[in-house]
Chains A and B, each alone.
Chain A
Amino acid sequence: MPEVSFGPNLLADLAQMWSLPFMVNAFRAGTLVAVLAALAGYFVVLRRQTFAAHTLSVVGFPGATAAAWLGWSVTGGYLAASVAAAAVFALRPRATGRRQRAESAVIGTAAAFALACGFLFSTRSQGSVDGTTALLFGSVLGISTGQVVTLTWLAVVVLVLLTVVARPLLFGSLDPVVARAGGVPVRLLDAGFLVTLGAVIAMTAQITGALLVFALLVLPAATAQRLTARPLRAALVAVAIAVATTWVALTATFYTPYPVGFWLADLAFAGFVLATGVGAVRGRWHRSGRVAAVPAMVVGGTP
């Protein structure tokens, strides 16, 4: 971008950026996506489903390139593929122990195969290398107003869904056995969450690309959980981190020659490292203050 330059007047910088419609759309879409990814990501981290999330994001890639090859909507192709994969995940019988290990190997293999297929489709469609790179590593270009409208509707649906099921989903994520005994439809919530996650990942990948979805999905949530152990507060902190990351990354992308995926992933990772440091320092502090209290509690605990 030739004649833009970043100055000390932040408002002027924002005005300069937002005079371009594609940047406005990038900020709109980026903000929506950041909110959803962070909220879904909070549960992904709690449920230790990062591997599943990674697979869903990778599986979307062949969907997108196949759609491009056939002349269909790329976003639609991505969404269809990752939601379909999520449905397969949700319907598969629960594996435990040795079968679970075998299963994760199968899933990893399938994910690699999906990437290879995506690459094949992208070469068939004479798609530009730029297009493929954008699908994998993200882009701020080419988000249309129509896409922003679609994203808004999807975002509203996902937000309402997550708010409604927040508590039973938390219960089922932390203690599925007790939750199920207490009348929480754990199986249904698990399946519903995976499918929703597929949709959120498809939306997030519009900005971050298929390979860097974690920058908004997992990193802000993991960072937030280092900072606070309160569920609601952690979810809100994750949203704040994701939105801030997105805004700074978009601005940096606009004013520097580096791509958005680089900024998103780096900023999110820096936040995580920082929070881990803070957590470690705080942890040591708490532990040293606790030593004297323990014996008293054991004795005092006798009713």
Chain B
Amino acid sequence: MTPALVMTDVAVRAGRRLLWSGLTAQLQPGEFTAVLGPNGAGKSTLIKAVLGLHPLAAGRLTVLGGAPGESNREIGYLPQRRSVDPTLRVRGIDIVRLGLDGHRYGLPLPGRGARRAAAEVDALVELVGATGWAHRPVGELSGGEQQRLLIAQALARRPRLLLLDEPLDALDLANQAAIAGLIGRICTDRQVSVVMVAHDVNPILPYLDRVLYLANGRVATGPPGAVITSETLTALLGAPIEVLSTADGRLVVVGQPEAPHLHSARHRDEAPQPGGGGRA
């Protein structure tokens, strides 16, 4: 089976500044990869590079067996959250439908094809648990409700690779767990390779195969148990970091410059505040 992503010593610049370099990893179909790191580390830029929307400064990147940008139609993409215009008068279901055939020219003819497409959209909406609000104008929906519909849109073309940029950030804890579970299931059931940018690793920890941790221009890769450790993060972030494991299997990162995000809520106040060097 062709790997979904092969990255060999990849480096990326923003303007003239080197964001990070030396990223080497191979992601297989059915694998769940998290991209972690402080704000501004270049996580979203990595996603854009995979889509062929941001050039590489060095290295080689193969996406679904081709150059970046070549097989974007087989990629589901959910950009980092932007606010939806609250006056937007288009139904949620239409947004999902665009993911299915929004790139097609001409109007769909009524008939069997149209019925199949409608049924497919209904199935997607049900899969993400958005049936209750899919027929309302998206502008009126809450951030979490919109997010579920956008995830359905990203899944519409049965992608082989899913690029999700902070899909959990508008959701409450229960919904974070629910969506993480859903994506984990899609990952294994449909053999999709998932790359998810996240700030809190805990909701996705049970499903994770690999972590790409970007910070200070460098990258640490490996299974979560190997990357999210006191030693690796201390070396990467250049500040003393302690990773604790709670009885229920959650990870608590103490002393990280970006502490509030990677923390589970109840340990937030234990975090010493910024040790500096948060920005790469």
Binding site for B on A (CB under 8 A): 46, 48, 163-168, 170-171, 174-175, 177-184, 225-226, 228-232, 234, 286, 293, 296-298, 300-303
Complex CA–CA separation, A228 to B91 (angstroms) = 9
Q: Is the CB of B129 within 8 A of A301?
A: yes
Q: List 14 A-B contacts (CB under 8 A).
A: A167-B103, A170-B102, A174-B90, A180-B53, A182-B103, A183-B72, A183-B73, A226-B89, A229-B94, A301-B130, A302-B129, A302-B174, A302-B175, A303-B129
Residues in A neighbouring B88, C-beta threshold 8 A = 46, 174
Interface size on B, residues (CB 8 A): 42
Complex CA–CA separation, A300 to B88 (angstroms) = 27
Complex CA–CA separation, A182 to B153 (angstroms) = 11
Complex CA–CA separation, A230 to B95 (angstroms) = 11
Q: Is the CB of B102 within 8 A of A171?
A: yes
Given contact pairs A163-B107, A167-B107, A301 touches B90 in the complex (Cβ within 8 A): no
Q: Is the CB of B103 within 8 A of A303?
A: no
Q: Is the CB of A229 within 8 A of B133?
A: no
Q: Is B148 an interface residue when CB atoms closer than 8 A count as contact?
A: yes
Complex CA–CA separation, A184 to B77 (angstroms) = 13
Residues in A neighbouring B101, C-beta threshold 8 A = 167
Given contact pairs A174-B98, A178-B153, A229-B89, A301 touches B107 in the complex (Cβ within 8 A): no
Given contact pairs A168-B104, A168-B105, A302-B129, A178 touches B175 in the complex (Cβ within 8 A): no
Checking B91, B102, B130, B182 against A229 with a beta-carbon cut-off of 8 angstroms, the contacting residue is B91
Q: Is the CB of A164 within 8 A of B105?
A: yes
Complex CA–CA separation, A182 to B72 (angstroms) = 6
Complex CA–CA separation, A228 to B75 (angstroms) = 32
Q: Is B3 an interface residue when CB atoms closer than 8 A count as contact?
A: no
Q: Is the CB of A164 within 8 A of B91?
A: no
Residues in A neighbouring B102, C-beta threshold 8 A = 167-168, 170-171, 179, 182, 184
14 additional A-B pairs beyond A166-B107, A167-B98, A302-B174, beta carbons within 8 Å, are: A171-B98, A178-B78, A179-B103, A181-B75, A181-B77, A182-B73, A183-B72, A184-B102, A230-B91, A232-B107, A296-B132, A298-B174, A301-B129, A303-B178
Q: Is the CB of B106 within 8 A of A164?
A: yes
Q: Chain B nearest CB: distance from A132 CB in Å? A: 36
Complex CA–CA separation, A300 to B185 (angstroms) = 18
Q: Is B22 an interface residue when CB atoms closer than 8 A count as contact?
A: no
Residues in B neighbouring A175, C-beta threshold 8 A = 95, 98
Q: Is the CB of A46 within 8 A of B90?
A: yes
Given contact pairs A174-B98, A177-B79, A293-B132, A225 touches B89 in the complex (Cβ within 8 A): yes
Complex CA–CA separation, A297 to B137 (angstroms) = 17
Residues in A neighbouring B90, C-beta threshold 8 A = 46, 174, 229, 231
Q: Is B51 an interface residue when CB atoms closer than 8 A count as contact?
A: yes
Residues in B neighbouring A174, C-beta threshold 8 A = 88, 90, 95, 98
Q: Is the CB of A181 within 8 A of B103?
A: no
Q: Chain B nearest CB: distance from A171 CB in Å? A: 3
Residues in A neighbouring B73, C-beta threshold 8 A = 182-183
